[in-house]
Every structure is written in C-alpha cells, then in structure tokens.
Amino acid sequence: MRNLCLSVMTIFLVTFANAQNASVSWGEEFKLKKGSTDLSVIHADNTGVYVKESHMTLKSYFVIGATMRESATLIKLDKNMNQEYSQDFNKELKGKDYERFFFLKDKLFVLASIYEKKEKKLTLFAAPVDKKNGELSGEFTEVNNWVKESKADDINFNITYNSDSTKMVIVSSIEGREKNNYEVREYDDKLKQIGKTIAISNEFDPKTFQLADVLYTENGNVVMVGRQYEYQEGKKKKSKYLDFSNYNIRVYSPDGSLVKEVNTQINGKWLVTTKVIQLPKRDIVIAAFYSNSKRGSEINGILVQRINPKTGEVIGTSSKEINTSLITKLEDDDDTDDGDDENRKERRERKKLEKIQNEEDGFSKYMIFRNFLYTPDSGLVILAEKYHHYEYSQTTTSGGGGFGGGMSSRTTWYQVYECGDLMMAKVDRAGEINWFHILPKQQREVIQSGSSSGYGGGLSFSAGNNFFDANAYNMPFYAGFGVLTGSKSATIIFNDSKRNLNTLELGQRVKKMSYFRKSECFGVDLDLVTGKYTRSILFSNDDVPTAMPRLASGLGKDLFIIGKEDRMLGRSKIAIAKLSLKN
C-alpha cells in the first residue's frame, strides 16, 4: 500500500492496574505515512476492530498547479488489536470525493460523492466492502442526488444513524439567498430509501438563521435547532450588523408539518449554548447554558427541558442559577475526625476554595456541553468543558534571500485549541441539581495549519492548506477528554501533567499542559449517583504513542483510544488501546 505502510515494532499488550475502575491494554505499534488528516476507530464487533485513516491525494494535475481530494484507508485489527489488513481506497475513489465508511447491521459501505459543475448536481454514491479483506464487493451505486437552483446555493448533508442504529439517515439542506430547504431520508441495510422524504421549508431569512443541530427521533419526528440573529444598528451611520438573538427549536412530523415549537426563553436571560439529545426509549432532553446579560462574559445558569418525542410537549422544565457557591466540597471516605492533621497545603487549598464559593462568580461563556449520561436513578449527569478555538499567523521577513537579492517573507498559520475546566453536574428527575463539580485543567494545543513564502518580485509559494475548516480535520488531537460509561459509574480520560495528580477542585493550583508527548493519561472515576470521584494515572504517554482521548470511540462496554506519535524524520507511530470498566 502506497499511502499506508504498517510494520510491527513493539508488542505492548500491557494492562495498567493503577486505575480504580478501568484497565487499559495496548496492541502492537505500527507505522503510518505522514499526511493523515483524520484517524479514528469506527467499529468493533466479535471479529475485531476497524480503524479509518483519511489523507489527501492528487485529484487533477495542471501545468501550473494541481487539485487535491480526500481519500481513505481501512485498517482491520483482530481482537488483540494486531493488524489483519490495511486497504487503501485511492484507486477505487478516483474521480470521487471520499465521504465516510458506514457500518449498517452486519454490512459495511464506503460512501463517496461527485459534484458536476455544469449540471450544478451533487451525487452521493455507495459501494459494499467485504469486511474479511477490506476490498470492494460490488460497484458504486447512486444513493441520492441534489441539484442547485443557482450557483450561489450551498448543498450540505450529514449522514448518521436512526435512534437504534438499524437504519441510515441523511439530513440535507440547500441553502440559498432567499430560503433554506431541508430534507430527511431514511435508508435500510441495502441503502434503499424507506418511506417518503421529509421536506421542511424554513421561512426564516437565511442570513438570520443558522442550523445548529438536527435530531431524528424514534417515531420519525425531526427536531431542528437553529440560532436566530437580528439586525442591530452599528456605530457608523447606516451600518448594521447581525447579533445573536435566541435559539429556535421545532419538532416536525414525518410529513414535514410543524408539530410544536418549543419555548426555551427565560425572562431576562439569554441562552449562550444548547444541546439536544435522545437516548433509546427515553425523552428528548434539551440542555442550555444562559447568561443574565445579552453579551455577558460568563454563564449564570443552566436550563434543562424534557420533551415528549411524539407530541413535542414539554414534560418538565427546570432552570437553575449556577455559580461557584454550588461547587460540592469533596469529602474523604474516612469519616474519622483527624483533628489538627490538616497540613498547611491542604488548609491553603481549602481556604482558596471557600473564598471562590463565597464570591459566587459565574462561569466562562466558553463552557460548552460535551456528554449527557443517564443515571441508575433516572437522573442526568451533564459533562461540559471550557473550550476556545482561534487562529493566528506570524510573518517574518529577511533581506537578500529572494530572487535578485530582494526581500523575502514567510507567513505561517496556526490553529489554537484551549480546553479548560471540566464541569460535572447531576440533575435529578425533578430538575434539581444534586451535585456540581468543577475539575480544573488547562490544555493548550497549537497546530500549524499552513505556510507561504513570498519575494519582492511578487512570486510566492505555499505549503499546506492555509484556510480550511478545522473541524473537518477532527482537531484538536491530544487536548479535550473522552468518556466510557458503565451501569453505575463513568471514567473520564484526558492528558495532563503529572503535577496535577492531586488537583481535584476549583481553587487548587493547576499546571498548564501543552507538550502532550510528556503528559500522563488520567482516568477520573465518577460515581453517577453520588458524584464522588477519584483521579489516577492510567498510563504515561512517554511510554506509548501519545493518546488522543477526545477522539476515542465508545463501542459497547469498551473505549478504543488511538495513540499517535509524529516524528520529524520517518513515518508516524500508531498504536490502539482498549479501555474497559471493571464494574
């Protein structure tokens, strides 16, 4: 294989037992050719584990340049996470743009698309893949197509599963200047459409409406979450700008008619971020953070609503002001009175936390929802993270380095991801917050995304993709966290400094982590009912390829983690780990 060469280097298969509720086992290391844009575990069954690797390859070549397309490789590992095969799809995807691999029941498909500029037509294709050897077992056939009315229209689609993962669902939109149209289609395991297309016409001005989330419920209803904006007068005369107004949440029936518009407004409050979820056989849950001021710099409360997925009726609504005074003080399991055994460091940390709680400050507006976990007592545990992404560039100039001795310059672009404090809170069935924790962490990942060099005569050279959708490349790689959920507890994993081993509460000093190669991968064992948690080291990233917890895949009772080590010379080093809960 040209784009992915695997070779066995070291066999790990070591189980680390120093975490209380989880064990980790690593498979063989293998090598990966440079240039990967995405790497993730996409499926696991009784035959093994499937890993997807994406990369850019040549699409067309011209005398003065070339165009690139995304391609992919499928890697199959056995139950011990040792390689069985790696199948490069460069040849099969020639002339097409790779979309994704899709497992449906016991079948595997590769999905790709073609855009015909002259006809303004985008077509989605699928081909079956033999899971035993990774080769195509049939030809590409058309799944669906979309045609633009105007060149200015944008065609967007998302491929996902229905509520019980037995069917494929495609949510698509054609967004234009005057209106946006949305369509939802459901497909069986032969990728044949089931039932009629759900067509939804949005009466909002496309400039003032942004689709944020779509949920396809068990009974076929569609929940659409949008961000609404309104025009505001600017500082200059006759100038206007769009300002976020509120979230709009609507439930549509399978025939596209409006069932219910959910009212999430709270008097005098402004929603900052929201998330809609539904687990099998349960209600729709809407969670949102809100601020007490329209452009507030902090979050002051949380809203949780339970919605009947069939009728769209609100079953219950609860809102709660949240601030640092709600932080639950951790208590030791040992109830004995230690008297004056509290040392100076512990006393200093306790007083710092008490000071924070007494000030009753809000939380950062960059706090976003990550996970929702149902508890054995019908409650809901909410995990959120402080997250901020931005980009910047640096330009350096020098003399005499260009053609004819002119000035030369080089510009480098960087993507910065800051993943901060972890919020853990439990909301019971009645909507009350039972416990509320903040685990301090500071992760900062900086990724070079492109560069260009120019000379005084106007000649320039570029390397990399300077302006790209960072989310399409599944960044960040090493910052953030992953979660493995059990029946009574959950393990939260993330990379951090060893010096933060005993950092459990807001108010304690935390060391920033930015060099992940020298980090430890921690496991936080959280009791979903009581909220008690402990923190321990799962393994050291100094001993294995650096773990990417945020990109971990929870499949059944196991969590699969990819470790990746990029090297200046030679190919990247990869290994896969399996994390399993003991209870």
Give the tokens for residue 393.
């560039």
Does the reported pTM lie above 0.85? no
Of 92-96, 253-257, 269-273, the range with the lowest mean pLDDT is 269-273
* First-to-final CA distance of the chain: 41
Place of tokens 């689609």: 157
Q: DSSP labels for 158-186?
A: EEEE-TTSSSEEEEEEEE-SS-EEEEEEE
- Mean pLDDT in the chain? 79
3-state helix, strand, coil in the chain (%, to 5): 5, 55, 40
Average pLDDT over residues 64-70: 58
270, 257 contact by CB (below 8 A): no
Q: In the predicted model, is pLDDT for residue 327 greater than 80? A: no
Q: What is the pLDDT of residue 568?
A: 61
- At residue 37 the predicted structure's pLDDT band, cuts being 50, 70 and 90, is low
CB atoms within 10 A of CB 513: 24
Which residue type, as a one-letter code, is found at position 520? E
Residues 298-311 pLDDT 10s: 888 888 888 888 88
Rg value, the chain, Cα: 26
Query: What one-letter code names the amino acid at 122?
Result: L
Strand partners, 233: 240
> What is the pLDDT, as a whole number, of residue 164?
80
Is residue 470 predicted with pLDDT exceeding 60?
A: no
Query: Which stretches within 461-529 are classed as H helix?
Result: none
Task: Say how far apart CA 93 and CA 494 lie, in whole Å.
Answer: 35
Task: For residue 101, give Cα distances in angstroms to 89, 131, 307.
Answer: 11, 12, 32
Q: Rounded distance, CA 127 to CA 262, Å?
A: 40
Helix (H, G, I), strand (E, B) or coil at 28: coil
CA dist., res. 299 & res. 271, Å (int): 9
Q: Cα(553)–Cα(565) distance, rounded to whole angstroms?
A: 19
The CA distance from 565 to 577, in Å, is 14
Q: Is the dihedral of CA 33, 38, 42, 44 positive or negative?
A: positive
Burial class (CB in 10 A: 0-12, 13-18, 19+), 150: exposed
Rounded Cα–Cα distance for residues 50 and 43 (Å): 5
For 294-358, the DSSP string reads TT-SEE-EEEEEEE-TTT--EEEEEEEE--GGGPPPP--S--S--TT---HHHHHHHHHHHHHHH
Q: Determine the Cα–Cα distance for residues 129 and 101; give it in Å rounded to an integer.
A: 9
Strand partners, 40: 52
* Digit-coded pLDDT (tens) for 126-142: 999 999 999 999 999 99
Max intra-chain CA distance, the chain? 81
pLDDT of 76 higher than 80:
yes
pLDDT tens string 512-537: 999 999 999 999 999 999 999 999 99
- Cα separation of 191 and 211, whole Å? 26
Q: How many Cα atoms occupy the beta-carbon half-sphere of 274 within 13 Å?
A: 26
Percent of the chain with pLDDT over 70: 77
Give yes or no for a cis peptide into 280 (omega within 30° of 0).
Answer: no
- Non-local CB neighbours of 378 within 8 Å, separated by 6+ positions: 428, 429
* Least confidently predicted of 227-236, 270-279, 397-406, 545-554: 397-406
pLDDT digits (tens, 9 = 90+) for 145-191: 999 888 888 888 999 888 788 999 999 988 776 667 889 999 999 99
Neighbour count for residue 395 (Cβ, 10 Å): 10
Which of the two residues, 50 and 331, has the higher pLDDT score? 50
347 or 41, greater pLDDT: 41
Write down the pLDDT at residue 167. 92
Residue 13, pLDDT > 70, answer no
CA 209 to chain centre: 23
Q: Which tens digit of pLDDT belongs to each residue from 289-301? A: 888 887 777 888 8
Q: Which string of b and e fits 471-492 if b means at least 16 CB within 10 Å? A: eebebbbbbbbbbbbbeebbbb
Write down the pLDDT at residue 548: 92
- Please give the single-letter amino acid code of residue 87: Q
What pLDDT digit, counting tens, does each position of 237-266 carry? 666 677 777 778 889 998 889 999 887 777
Task: Provide the pLDDT for residue 231.
Answer: 79
Cα 159 to the center of its chain, rounded Å: 15
Q: Token digits for 565?
A: 């080590």
Q: Which of 85, 88, 95 is nearest to 72 (CA)?
A: 88
pLDDT digits (tens, 9 = 90+) for 408-457: 788 888 889 999 999 999 988 777 888 888 898 999 999 887 777 665 55
Report phi then psi at 355, rounded to 5: -65, -45
Distance, in Å, from the CA atom of 73 to the CA atom of 51, rounded to the nearest integer, reads: 8
The rounded distance, in Å, linking the Cα atoms of 269 and 475 is: 32
Burial of 10 (0-12, 13-18, 19+ CB in 10 A): exposed
